[in-house]
Amino acid sequence: MAKLYIIPIPISENPLEHVLPEFNHGIVKELRHFVVERIKTARQFLRKMDREFPIDASEFYELNKHEGYSFQMEALEALKNGQNVGLMSEAGYPGVADPGSEFVALAHRNNIEVIPLTGPSSLLLALAASGMNGQGFTFNGYLPKKDPERASKIKEINQTVIKTGYAQLFIETPYRNEMMLKDLISYCHHELMLTIAYDVTGEKQKIKTKTIGDWSRAPFKFDKTPCVFVLGN
């Protein structure tokens, strides 16, 4: 029976061996069918993993270029014909703050075995390094871009932390990270803790947890690098 492998992709420019186990390489080298976020990025990853990877003998089903997810039937047909399929996003873990969950759900509905391979997820790494509540937490994805929805959402997660103690994780488009911090300082209780997990696993990695009040006195210096925010107590 064919299997769907969820393939994590490095979230930084570090060498693959720093973040992916050798076991993954052995699995991926045998695959010839891939559901991917972008074909160009997928090809680059496969070449980096193995210079001799037979790209031209492989089939790629691109998430972003198939209206109505019509590609899913093609990839599902490959699985039904006994071909293992790999699922890849641009970076990080497919299906977790990245595309892919719909195809995973489709695989389950068709009794296809789904195997998640070990690899980096910036969300879990940020939470583990934050010192926040790892027993109860919520990932909120991207917060609204504009007020009043944005202010309302920040105030809501502020109250959730105070009432439940659950850590609240969220992300922002890198060029708006500085504005996100300013808004958190404006709308959150200054005794709450905030972790900024910046360039996780990358060369510029910085993971700092301080009170909102402390961040207001010494703001983080951002550039256009992805980071994860964790609000807690």
Boundary residue ending a domain (116, 143, 161): 116
Considering the domain architecture, whether residues 147 and 209 belong to the same structural domain is answered as yes
Nearest of 64, 74, 67, 124 to residue 100 by alpha carbon:
64
The count of domains in the chain is 2
CATH number of the domain to which 97 belongs:
3.40.1010.10
Considering the domain architecture, whether residues 30 and 99 belong to the same structural domain is answered as yes
Considering the domain architecture, whether residues 12 and 106 belong to the same structural domain is answered as yes
Considering the domain architecture, whether residues 129 and 224 belong to the same structural domain is answered as yes
CATH number of the domain to which 221 belongs:
3.30.950.10
What CA–CA distance (Å, rounded) separates 78 from 5?
Answer: 13
Full pLDDT tens readout for the chain, 233 residues: 899 999 999 888 777 777 788 999 999 999 999 999 999 999 999 999 999 999 999 999 988 655 555 678 889 999 999 999 999 998 889 988 888 898 999 999 999 999 999 998 999 999 999 999 999 999 999 999 999 999 999 999 999 999 999 999 999 999 999 999 999 999 999 999 999 999 999 889 999 999 999 999 999 999 989 999 999 99
- Give the range of the structural domain holding residue 133, as residue numbers without chain letter: 122-232
